Amino acid sequence: MGSLISSLRDAYFGIKAVVQTLAEDYADLNALQARLNSNPGIPVSNPTTSFWLQNPPFPDLVDKRSKTLPESADILIIGSGITGASIARTILSECASMGVKKRVIMLEAREVCSGATGRNGGHIKCTPHESYCEYKERFGAERAKVLVKFQTSHLPIMVDLAKQEGWDLAEAREVETLDVFYDEKVWEENKKMVEVFRREMPEAAKDTYIWERKEAREKYKLGEHAFGAITYQAGAIWPYRLVAYVLDSLLRTYASDFSLETHTSVESISTVNNLSQPFIVHTSRGDIHSSHVIHATNAHTATLVPGIRGKLFPVRGTMTAQRPGKMFPELDGSRSWCLINNEGYEYVTQRPGKIDSLNGMGGEIMIGGGMVQAGRKGFGELGIASDAETNYLIGCHLGGVLPMAFGLENWGNDAPGGRMKNMWSGSLALTADMMPFVGRLEPSLTGRAYEKATLAKDTAKPISPPGEWISAGYNGEGMVNAWLCGIALGLMVLGRGDTVAEKTLGRPQGKLEEWFPREYLCTQERVTNASVFKLLETR
């Protein structure tokens, strides 16, 4: 355990660094433990205003709902973020290809896609050299390769989907990404990780380059505090708009099978003695009976799945949209950055276009992070599910870091209109073992027992026996996890994991087990063993 913990502690930064530093504040640990174990509740009704939710491409989708809440569903998805959208798309398209009709209902507590997917950094990036070394230490080299391939495959799949469908406003694109290091020790450690990655995954590492201090500063216009940079391919996206395109197309294509019910909070779930439809979902607008209930509720999952409290919990993240300075190079959205310090980092993308050129938008630098810069090393943000406030010190840091990171001479004066356009917060979901939870939820986790139905093996139009399901807890890396986890979960619900899928737009080919990491499967044993406080044992 010791080496696992120390490898985790060495490898993690950003959110992970918050966990690392907890041990220094033992006095606050009890309060933290209570927060992590508490009920995150239903999303608040007065969230901060996210840049991404402005100018929605489908205004009718924002508050879409039926006049009367449907009373019954085959499959009920709670949550309308990227996970819910991916699950719905998989289930509906798979049912259509099988010639099966299943009634799918998506419930959303607030406006459509107003959770983390509508409030994040839009960075499609998993830092493969760092992830590979971390996973290798935990799971061995072969499994580390599977995990890294799973995460990196999101970029081509999502970019191709948006391109082929003509979803241009989603701005899904490849970028050249830079990890810029402002701490010499972390810089040296990362260079070593790149060496390992190059040796053991040469194909994946072929576009990874190391730039020492002088060349990095000159080529990429970095400030004097930068020790060097590592560059490779990543992506960026307007995540809300991708989801909006997906949901709009599903509502049009499957009008009689799919409905979206916004402003409909799920308050509780109960079970009845009904083999085919054991669940009653109690919402703010009435009850719905369903065969399957899917929790795609991210940071709020533990509200309805009490057995997962303390194992999957919310963390408040802060995001900003800022105008680049007058000297900042025009990159038209082609580059992204992580600004990495000895503790924590900021993730940065830049939207395409010139500053404010289209309806007052364009060229914004989208920067978030800074969590460990807040008072008490940022761990005050752990266990907070509300996105109604921002953190003062994090806001100060994000507001000032850009000219320092890029250098005052490369930034220049602030652009007309000022630097800061928007600042907002969002709730992301962290898991105690830093891996997502995907799959069927055992009744021991939901606290809801029900009589189990068994389906004959030769059922012509298969679907798994009724149950509750989860796909959540991407540890701040939803853009390289949620889409394919959603597909995997959709296939599990339909009992289609063994089907060999052809290459289809927006989907991986082959059997589920060939591309989906088994380390993500949600089991009672995994949940029991996961403990955020085990990370502190070495202190």
Ligand X SMILES: Cc1cc2nc3c(=O)[nH]c(=O)nc-3n(C[C@H](O)[C@H](O)[C@H](O)COP(=O)(O)OP(=O)(O)OC[C@H]3O[C@@H](n4cnc5c(N)ncnc54)[C@H](O)[C@@H]3O)c2cc1C
Residues forming the site for ligand X (CB under 6 A): 42-43, 78-84, 107-110, 113-117, 119-123, 265-266, 296-298, 300, 303, 317, 319, 347, 368, 426-428, 472, 474, 476-480, 482
CA distances for 475 relative to 16, 314, 478, angstroms: 9, 10, 7
Q: How far is the CB of 2 from ligand X (least distance, A)?
A: 30
User: Under 8 Å CB-to-CB from 221, ≥6 apart: which residues?
Assistant: 328, 329, 406, 407, 410
CB of 39 vs ligand X, minimal distance in Å: 11
Minimum CB separation from ligand X for residue 89, in Å? 13
CA 389 from centre of chain: 20
CA 316 from centre of chain: 13
**Minimum CB separation from ligand X for residue 151, in Å?**
9
Choice between 227 and 238, CB closer to ligand X: 238
Nearer to ligand X, 428 or 441 (CB): 428
Is residue 370 left, alpha or beta, with left meaning phi > 0 and alpha meaning psi from -120 to 50? Answer: left
Distances (CA, A) of 210 to 126, 129, 192, 218: 17, 12, 11, 14
Amino acid identity for residue 322 in this structure: Q
Q: Taking the CB of residue 446, how many other CB atoms lie within 10 A of it?
A: 22
Buried b (16+ CB within 10 A) or exposed e, 348-372: bbbbbbebbeeeebbbbbbbbbbbb
Secondary structure (3-state) at 253:
helix
> Shortest gap between Cβ of 75 and ligand X (angstroms)?
15
Q: How far is the CB of 532 from ligand X (least distance, A)?
A: 18
Q: Closer to ligand X by CB, 231 or 425: give it.
A: 425
C-beta of 427 vs 431, nearer to ligand X: 427
Nearer to ligand X, 468 or 477 (CB): 477
Give how far Cα 360 sits from Cα of 216, 297, 339, 402, Å. 33, 32, 27, 21
Rounded CA separation 442/63 (Å): 33
- Least gap, CB of 87 to ligand X (angstroms): 9
Closer CB to ligand X, 236 or 494, in the complex: 236
494 phi and psi angles, rounded to 5 deg:
-85, 0
With vertex at residue 484, the alpha carbon angle to CA 480 and CA 487, rounded to the nearest 5 degrees, is: 160
Tell me the torsion sign for CA atoms 66, 69, 71, 77: positive
Q: How far is the CB of 470 from ligand X (least distance, A)?
A: 10
CB of 371 to ligand X, least distance (A): 10
Q: Using CA atoms, how far apart are residues 493 and 169, in angstroms rounded to an integer?
A: 31
Residue placing its CB nearer to ligand X in the complex, 467 or 486: 486
In angstroms, what is the minimal distance from the CB of 42 to ligand X? 5
Please, are residues 132 and 145 in contact by the beta-carbon 8 Å criterion? Answer: yes
**CA nearest to 279, candidates 262, 265, 261, 266:** 266
Kindly tell me which of 158 and 229 has the beta carbon lying closer to ligand X. 158
- Tell me whether residue 8 or residue 299 sits nearer to ligand X (CB atom): 299
The smaller minimum CB distance to ligand X, of residues 230 and 247, is found at: 247
